[in-house]
């Protein structure tokens, strides 16, 4: 199975790549043994996204969490003028 390395070209996703390095072995059937902390983190991600995966395998949990992360990271952040800083004269 080919797994895309990044949600969208040009999107800064260093943390996403780190997570993929840790969990993608689950999707390829490489027999990855996760630490207890990694297992806990994976289940926490599933709860953050309200995914009902309590009885699912680690691979299925990561598959769903990965999809949600990719969706979020591929949505561009909107830069709006109202978030800018006021000039010194405008603030006075």
- For residue 8, give the nearest of 68, 76, 77 by alpha carbon: 76
Who wins on pLDDT, 27 or 91?
27
Q: Give residue-wise pLDDT tens across range 17-66.
A: 889 999 999 998 877 889 999 999 998 988 888 887 778 888 999 999 99
Dist. CA 29–CA 46, nearest whole Å: 20
Alpha-helix residue ranges (DSSP H) falling in the chain: 14-23, 36-48, 58-74, 88-91
Dist. CA 81–CA 64, nearest whole Å: 35
Dist. CA 91–CA 63, nearest whole Å: 49
Q: Return the DSSP state at 32.
A: -
Does the model's pTM come out above 0.85? no
């Amino acid at each position: 199975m080919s797994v895309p390395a990044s949600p969208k070209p040009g999107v800064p996703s260093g943390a996403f790549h780190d997570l993929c390095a840790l969990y993608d072995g689950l999707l390829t059937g490489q027999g990855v043994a996760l630490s207890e902390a990694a297992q806990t983190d994976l289940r926490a991600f599933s709860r953050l996204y309200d995914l009902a995966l309590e009885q699912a395998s680690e691979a299925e949990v990561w598959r769903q969490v990965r999809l949600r992360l990719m969706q979020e990271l591929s949505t561009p952040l909107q830069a709006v003028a109202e978030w800018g800083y006021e000039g010194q004269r405008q603030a006075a």
